[in-house]
Amino acid sequence: MSSAFGKCPLYLKVLLVKNFKRHCEHCHDSVNTKEKYGKLLLKMEQTINSQHQHTPTSSKSTSSNESSTMISNKTSATISNETNIESSAVYGYVSSPDFTLIPDDNKSLDNVQFQHFVEIKNHICGDIKYILKQTEFASKLVELAFDETVSVKNFLVETTSTFNKLKESINDLLILCNKTLENIPSTPTTVDKIQSTEKPISHDPSIIKVFDENELHYLVNQGPYQPLLSQYPWYKEFPLIEYSPITDSIYCFCCRLFGRGPGGAQPENTWVSTGTKMWNKVKGSQGTGKKGKIYIHIASETHKYSLKRYMTFRERKNNVDYMLDKDLQQQEQQKIEQKKTNEQIIKIPIDCSRFLARQRLGSCGHTDEDSNFYQLVNLLSRYNPTLDDWINNNNTRPFKITYMSKDSQNEFIQLLGECVQEKNLREIRQAAYYSIMADSSIDSDRKDMLSVYIRFVNEQGEPEERFVSIKEVHSKTGDGIANHLLEVLNELELDTKK
C-alpha cells in the first residue's frame, strides 16, 4: 500500500501513500493531530481500494487489495479507539467497555462468568450509591421549607427539579437491571437440585461422596477435620491429616478430595475411603529400617499429585476471594458513582461557557478567581448542592479535578465550537446549492489569513450566511487560492459539485 498512488482527499493531488504524511505537514496546517491524519489516510486508502475493485486485476493484485483492506480496517479501529478515549477524558473518567463474556485461555468459563457477574453487581451498586447521594441532597429540601426567605413557588420548583433528576436516575437503573436480566440465561431447576442444596455437607472424612465445585470450596475453606486427640497430637507435624470419630481412623485431606482425576494414579483406599487405624505403625517403624505408613504415603506420587491439585484449587479459590473482597468492590462501586457524578457536573461548566459565549463575555480574568467563568460557577453552586459538594470536596478525587482551570475552559469552548460548526455544515449539506465568499487579511503575526464564508438557501427559502474557516494562505496566486478553497471544502466534507 505504501508504494501505491492515491489522491489527497483535500488537494486532490496524486502522490505516493508513503509520502502522504510529509505532504500533510507541508501543505495542510489543519491536519495537526494524529486523529485528523488517520481519518485522511483512511479516506485515501478507501479511495484506492474502490478503484482497485472497479478495475479487473490478477490474483496478485487481489491479494494486495485484501491486504490494504485489512490495513484500512486496522486504521479505522485505532482511530475509533483514540476518539473514544479523548471524548471520555472530558469527564475525567475513561469509561469501561460494555459487559462482555470472553473466556480467557488461562481461566475456566465458570471463573469468567463469576467475574462478569461481580462486575455487573458493582456497576448496579455504584448506581445505587449515586441515587442515595441524590437522596441526601433531596433531604435538604426539608430545611429549605422552613426558610422564610424562600417563596412557595421557588420551593416547589426546586423540589420538582430535584425529584425529576432522581426519577431519571432510578429509571436508568431499572432499565439496566431489566436489560441484564434479559441477558442472563435461564437455568431449569429440578426437585433433585433443590433437595441437593438442602442437604448439609458432612465434614467427617469417613463419608464417601463425589463433591461438586461448591462443596469443594466449602470443604477447602473449612480445612481438614481435626478433632482434638490427646493421645496422638499429630496435626502440627502433619497439617493435612484428618480424623474420623465414626471409624476411629485417620485420612489424608488432599487425597480424599483431589486424589481422583485425570492424569493421576489410583489413590490408596487406606488414606481415602477406609482410613488407617494401625496407630503403632503410623509413625513408628514397620520393621527394621522401614519408615511409618504416613511417611511412605507423603513420599508417594499419588499424594504429590493430590497435593498439587489441592494447591492449585486453593490458589483459584483465593482469587475468587480476592474478587469478592469488600474493599475492592467498594472501590469499584465508588468509581462508577464518581463517573455518574462527573457526567452530571460536567454539564454545568459547559453551560456556563455557552452562556458567556452567547452574551459575548470573556471567560478569563486577571486571576482564576476573578474570571467570569469562575464566579458564575460559584454563583450556581450556591443553589446546587451537588455542584457545591463537588467544588468543596475535590481533595478526594484524583488530581483534584474541578474543571475550573483555563485548560478546561478552552476545551469547553473548543467543544462548543465544534458543535456549532457541525450544525452549520449539516444545514449547508441539506441545501441544493451554495456560494463561497473569501477574503484575506494580515494578522498580528504578519500572516495572511483567508476567511471563508458560505451563503446558502435554507429549507424556508431564506438566504443565510455562515463563517466556516479562517486559515493561513501560503500562495496568493489563482491556483493557490483555488487549491486552498478546495482543501477547506474537502476538509469540511462539502460537495464541491454543487
Q: Which of 432, 489, 419 is nearest to 458 (CA)?
A: 432
What pTM value is reported for the model?
0.45
Residue 255 reports pLDDT greater than 80: yes
Same domain, yes or no: 298 and 410: no
Q: What is the pLDDT of residue 264?
A: 55
What mean pLDDT comes out for the span 307-328?
Answer: 68
pLDDT bin (cut points 50, 70, 90) of residue 425 is very high
Same domain, yes or no: 240 and 277: yes
Q: What is the pLDDT of residue 265?
A: 59
pLDDT in tens, 373-391: 989 998 998 888 888 888 8
Give dist(CA 126, CA 119) in Å, integer: 10
pLDDT in tens, 188-204: 545 454 444 444 677 78
* Exposure on the CB side of residue 473, measured as CA atoms within 13 A: 25
Q: Which of 380, 308, 388, 320 is nearest to 350 (CA)?
A: 380
Q: What is the pLDDT of residue 117?
A: 72
What mean pLDDT comes out for the span 244-255?
Answer: 87
- Ramachandran angles phi, psi of 456, nearest 5°: -150, 170
Residue 453 reports pLDDT greater than 90: yes
In a domain? residue 449: yes
DSSP secondary structure string, 287-338? Answer: STT---HHHHHHTSHHHHHHHHHHHHHHHHHHHHHHHH-HHHHHHHHHHHHH
Q: What is the pLDDT of residue 103?
A: 37
Q: Residue 118 is placed in which grid cell?
A: 461481580
The most confident of the ranges 281-290, 338-347, 427-436 is: 427-436
Q: What is the pLDDT of residue 144?
A: 76
In a domain? residue 344: no
Which of 183, 216, 233 represents a domain boundary (last residue)?
A: 183
Same domain, yes or no: 201 and 318: yes
Same domain, yes or no: 250 and 317: yes
In a domain? residue 335: no
Same domain, yes or no: 170 and 281: no
Span of 19-23, 165-169, 220-224, 231-235 with lowest mean pLDDT = 231-235
Residue 437 reports pLDDT greater than 90: yes
Q: Residue 388 is placed in which grid cell?
A: 457545591
What mean pLDDT comes out for the span 8-13?
Answer: 68
Residue 408 reports pLDDT greater than 80: yes
Q: How many residues does the chain have?
A: 498
The more confidently predicted of residues 356 and 56 is 356
Residue 367 per-residue DSSP state:
S
SS3 of residue 26 by DSSP: helix
Same domain, yes or no: 303 and 236: yes
Q: Which of 468, 474, 472, 463 is nearest to 494 (CA)?
A: 468
What mean pLDDT comes out for the span 297-325?
Answer: 74
Residue 289 reports pLDDT greater than 80: no
Q: What is the pLDDT of residue 232?
A: 64
What mean pLDDT comes out for the span 46-60?
Answer: 59
Which of 85, 120, 135 represents a domain boundary (last residue)?
A: 85
Q: What is the pLDDT of residue 312?
A: 83
Which of 298, 324, 350 represents a domain boundary (last residue)?
A: 324
Same domain, yes or no: 117 and 61: no
Same domain, yes or no: 244 and 285: yes
The more confidently predicted of residues 41 and 14 is 41
What mean pLDDT comes out for the span 356-378?
Answer: 87
The more confidently predicted of residues 321 and 460 is 460
Same domain, yes or no: 315 and 222: yes
Q: What is the pLDDT of residue 139?
A: 78
In a domain? residue 386: yes
Span of 281-290, 342-351, 406-415 with lowest mean pLDDT = 281-290
The more confidently predicted of residues 420 and 36 is 420
In a domain? residue 378: yes
pLDDT bin (cut points 50, 70, 90) of residue 456 is very high
How many domains would you assign to the chain?
5
The most confident of the ranges 102-111, 166-175, 284-293 is: 166-175
Same domain, yes or no: 301 and 207: yes
In a domain? residue 349: no
Q: What is the pLDDT of residue 423?
A: 92
In a domain? residue 35: yes
The more confidently predicted of residues 59 and 339 is 339
Contacts 24+ apart (CB under 8 A), 242-248: 242/205, 243/205, 244/204, 244/205, 244/206, 244/275, 245/204, 246/204, 246/206, 247/206, 247/274, 247/275, 247/277, 248/277
Same domain, yes or no: 372 and 476: no
Residue 276 per-residue DSSP state:
B
In a domain? residue 357: no
Same domain, yes or no: 205 and 165: no
Average pLDDT, the chain: 75
What mean pLDDT comes out for the span 305-310?
Answer: 87
Q: What is the pLDDT of residue 113?
A: 61
Residue 245 reports pLDDT greater than 50: yes
Residue 90 reports pLDDT greater than 90: no
pLDDT bin (cut points 50, 70, 90) of residue 101 is very low
What mean pLDDT comes out for the span 428-433?
Answer: 90
Distances (CA, A) of 441 to 17, 65, 454, 475, 476: 34, 46, 18, 13, 12
Beta-carbon count within 10 A of 235 CB: 16
Domain that holds residue 404: 363-428
How many percent of the chain have pLDDT more than 90? 10
